[in-house]
Amino acid sequence: MRTLKLLSAFLKVNVQMSLAYRADTVVNILLNIMWLGWELLSLSIIFNNTETIGGWGFGELIALLGVFRLVHTLMIALIWPNTEKFNQSIRDGSMDYTLLQPINSMFLVTFSRITVWRVWDLVLATVLIVVGINIAGDIVTPLSLLTFLLLTVSGAVVIYSLWIVLIALTFWFTKFDNNVTILQALLDAGRYPVTVYPVWLRILVTFIVPIAVATTVPLQALRGDLVVSRALMFIGISIASFLIASRVWKAGLKQYSGASS
């Protein structure tokens, strides 16, 4: 309950901050629509020349684009702004104040900045997923929908956990400013089904920087490509990765000694 209260307080603060830059918000939404146009154009160019890629059709790629946008939103609305603040606080020592607060520091560090207008991206993503699945004509059962939702959440948790580990590394190597660039660099791989990629890239984006776990995998569930045991495995992995990440965070905090001392 307390967590929800805090979260709504964070949201309120962030809405107020973004209201100070209304025109920027409008410009950003326009740019966002422009990128959507570009993404749809690039898909239509691909499907002018083929009916399927990696066994997936046009509709399914639209739906994948929707799932990709969910991950992208997580990246841009939460991961980037909080990382920026975190890196700054390690450098100038304001992390001390964060640690003095009587709340879980991991929660505070990862949720205090939220780019609020990006919420609109979630709506857009949902529309893309629904429209895409309709075009593809895949039959959605309550079970496949449920596994899809569970796997989307667990994919997000896996990426969130990796993020925690990456920023926690900053406690050991203070000058590790590039902590999330590796996530950002590989993010684009989530736009297409990993079945298209060469083996090394598939391994990289499934096991090491698991972008695919949050994009291709949930959609495989929605298409009915994923056996239940696999789905359970991915959910298990996400729980495990979250537990590991909290451990790493705690160990990192012990390393922290403040900027001026």
Partner 1 sequence: MLKIFQRLWQVNWAEQWQYRANLIMYLLYWLVSPIIYLAVWTSIANSKGSVNGLTANDFVTYYMTLLIVDQITSNIVIHTFAYKIQDGTLSGELIRPIHPMLTNTLVNNIAFKTLPIMGFIPIWIILFFLYKPDFSNVALNGILLAIPAMMMGFFVGFLLSAAITALAFWTTRVYSIHEFYFALILLFSGQFVPLTLMPKLIQDIAQYLPFQLLIYYPIQLILGKLSNAQIVQGYVMGVVWLVVAIAIFSWVWRNGVKRFSAVGA
Instruction: Catalog residues that contact partner 1 under the rule CB under 8 A.
Output: 23-24, 27-28, 31, 34-35, 38, 41-42, 45-46, 49-50, 52-54, 176, 178, 181-182, 184-186, 188-189, 191-192, 196-198, 200-201
Nearer to partner 1, 34 or 99 (CB): 34
Of residues 21 and 247, the one with the C-beta less far from partner 1: 21
CB of 106 to partner 1, least distance (A): 24
- Report which DSSP code applies to 195: G
CB of 41 to partner 1, least distance (A): 8
DSSP letters for 68-133? HHHHHHIIIIIIHHHHHHHHHHHHHSTHHHHHHSSS-HHHHHHHS---GGGHHHHHHHHHHHHHHH
Shortest distance (Å) from residue 24 CB to partner 1: 7
Is the CA virtual torsion 9, 14, 19, 20 positive or negative?
positive
In angstroms, the CA 92 to CA 67 distance is 37
Shortest Cβ 208–partner 1 spacing (Å): 12
CB of residue 199 to partner 1, shortest distance in Å: 10
**How many C-beta atoms surround the C-beta of residue 161 within 10 A?**
23
- Give the integer Cα–Cα distance in Å for 246 and 231: 23
Q: Is 141 or 188 the residue whose CB approaches partner 1 more closely?
A: 188
For residue 120, the minimal CB distance to partner 1 (Å) is 16
Q: Is 55 or 258 the residue whose CB approaches partner 1 more closely?
A: 55
Closest CA to 68 of 198, 48, 76: 76
Q: Are 150 and 230 in contact (CB under 8 A)?
A: no
Dihedral in degrees, nearest 10, Cα atoms 94, 98, 100, 103 = 180
Nearer to partner 1, 86 or 192 (CB): 192
- 45 or 123: whose CB is closer to partner 1? 45
